[in-house]
């Protein structure tokens, strides 16, 4: 397996930018990895915030201990608020970082 194919697989399956590090393009790898990390952080913070709110409602007795209901509430999209907008942007940013990282590796010429 050649270096280019390894880099594409690494970036596609492990983490955006990891393939760029393999082909010795650390600046681009850092940019893609940084964008992905920022996106993951925003998404994770929103999920933890939502989980804490649900846990509080369970403790208050507003929500029963039903795994299907809790899962549905965790996956439910918030309809209003800037938090939902920011999380959607984070998802798009993560997807773009991943796709552009893979596309870049497929277009780069082997050294």
Q: Under a CB-based contact definition with an 8 Å cutoff, are residues 90 and 39 in contact?
A: yes
| Averaged pLDDT, 67-78 | 77
17-60: pLDDT as tens digits? 999 999 999 999 999 999 999 999 999 998 888 888 888 988 99
Residues near 99 by beta carbon (within 8 Å), at least 6 away in sequence: none
pLDDT at residue number 50: 84
What single DSSP character describes residue 66?
A: -
Per the structure, the count of domains in the chain is: 1
For helices 3-13 and 82-107, angle between their N-to-C axes, nearest 10 degrees? 170
pTM of the model: 0.79
* 63: confidence class by pLDDT, cuts 50, 70, 90: confident
E strand map for the chain:
none
Cβ within 8 Å of residue 45, ≥6 positions away? none
How many whole angstroms separate alpha carbon 111 and alpha carbon 102? 17
Q: Which domain holds residue 43?
A: 3-107
């Amino acid at each position: 397996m050649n270096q280019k194919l390894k880099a594409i697989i690494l970036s596609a399956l492990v983490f955006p930018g990891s393939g760029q590090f393999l082909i010795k393009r650390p600046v681009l790898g850092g940019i893609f990895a940084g964008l992905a990390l920022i996106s993951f952080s925003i998404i994770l913070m929103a999920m933890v915030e939502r989980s804490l709110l649900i846990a509080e409602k369970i403790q208050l007795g507003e929500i029963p201990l039903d795994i299907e209901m809790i899962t549905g509430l965790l996956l439910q999209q918030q309809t209003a608020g800037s938090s939902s907008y920011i999380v959607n942007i984070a998802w798009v940013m993560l997807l773009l970082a991943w796709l552009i990282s893979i596309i870049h590796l497929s277009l780069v010429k082997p050294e």
